Structure 1
Amino acid sequence: MRLEHVSRLARPFSSASAPSPVAGCGAHLNPALEQLCGEIDAAFAAAEAHPGASFGQRVRLALQRAIADPRVLRPDQRASDPQNYCRHLLAADPLNRYAIAALVWEPGQASPVHGHRTWCGYAVIEGALEETLYRWDALGHRAIETRRHPRSSGAVSYVDAGRGAIHRLGNPADAAARAVSLHVYGVAGEQIATHVNDLLAA
């Protein structure tokens, strides 16, 4: 099999959280995840063959197609945690180039303000999220809020590593229901809780 299927539930996110032990492993990825992985593999191949090719655009399109398939997540991969948002690790590239996860957000749950140590993309599968964007104030050593955007079901985003795309993502406290998003990060599966976010003061 081309990919390691981990399908595990990590502890709810905090700045000090680490992945929990694998709770169970399946033998195969579902067709939607297999296609997503194949398209990300193809994006890497295209970027290597043609350095001018848009890797980010290919990842965005792959996520857009993945969330259109109702089979992309099982019900247990949409499970939430009442204390904080949680991350279900779905698949990890054996070459350690990327990992795929589902994030589940109850109303009022949000990420910390962060930049990115790696490229990453996400798409909203269920419900709606709110994304708050920031700019980095190098003199004040803090992130300054610039604007907020609703991210409804079907929204797709991609950013490169660095502090040029600082944000906070969450499910508003007055939301009527949970939200679920699908994320791809440019890290190995075991690094998904530790090597993605560059936590910043705001």
Structure 2
Amino acid sequence: MFSVPHMVGSDLVERLSAASRQAPPDYLAAARLTLQSLLRRPDCLAGVELARRSGGYARTLLFGDDQLSLWAMVWDVGARTPIHDHHCSCCFGVLAGALTEIEFKPIDDTTAMATAQAVRGAGHIACMLPTGPNLHQIVNDQAREAISLHIYGYDHTLRPNSVHREYRLAAH
């Protein structure tokens, strides 16, 4: 197990780890509650050295065990993920700033078309199971840095990330 020392809310994350062995709906409910509690604590990352990448996004592992991983992601202005889906459960909450989430519908195994777009401000939480298709892209198209927290249902020591497949945008 990996855990950032002295992270505010680490007790919540350890309880979530135990809940991760429950049925998927119960686990997702526990993940949502964990994110709600962490997002209500603006100091939850106080003392944590967060990775940053100019023009992109960077991830910092806050907690990980054989069932789940919790990451802080710092989004520079202009940062964007590829269009992707997940091989595991995915819950994210916006801690600071705002991010645009674009949802997609797959056309085939490599191509997708946009179906919806919304700005997700501080406090927003979304949770999904890998029952798919759950294709999306996260973009920081705002004028300042954003920070989000992500809970994924995978062992961070076995896989480099939660992405199952990346897609390209279909031509119009």
User: What's the TM-score bracket when you normalise by the shorter of the two chains?
Assistant: 0.7 to 0.9
Flag structure 2 segments of 5+ consecutive residues without an equivalent: none
Flag structure 1 segments of 5+ consecutive residues without an equivalent: 8-27
**CA 181–45 in structure 1, closer or farther in 2 if over 3 Å, else same:** same
Determine whether 1:157 maps to 2:135.
Answer: no
Structure 2 contact 73–148 (Cα < 8 Å) conserved = yes
**CA 85–197 in structure 1, closer or farther in 2 if over 3 Å, else same:** farther
**CA 76–162 in structure 1, closer or farther in 2 if over 3 Å, else same:** same
Cα deviation, residue 75, structure 1: 5.2
State the TM-score, normalizing by the size of structure 1.
0.75
Q: Once the two structures are aligned, what percentage of the paired residues are identical?
A: 25
Residue 176 of structure 1 corresponds to 143
State the TM-score, normalizing by the size of structure 2.
0.86
Tell me the number of residue pairs that the alignment of Structure 1 and Structure 2 aligns. Answer: 169
Deviations 1:9-50 (A, max 9, x none): xxxxxxxxxxxxxxxxxxx34241221331x13433542xxx
Deviations 1:49-75 (A, max 9, x none): xx7x53222211211111111332135
Structure 2 contact 19–27 (Cα < 8 Å) conserved = yes
Q: Which has the higher strand share?
A: 2
Residue 38 of structure 2 corresponds to 66
After TM superposition, the structure 1 = structure 2 runs for residues 1-202 of structure 1, keeping only pairs within 5 Å, are 3-5=1-3, 7=4, 28-38=5-15, 40-47=16-23, 53-74=25-46, 76-93=48-65, 96-138=66-108, 141-172=110-141, 175-191=142-158, 193-202=160-169
CA distance in 2, matches of 1:191, 1:157: 25
Structure 1 contact 123–181 (Cα < 8 Å) conserved = yes
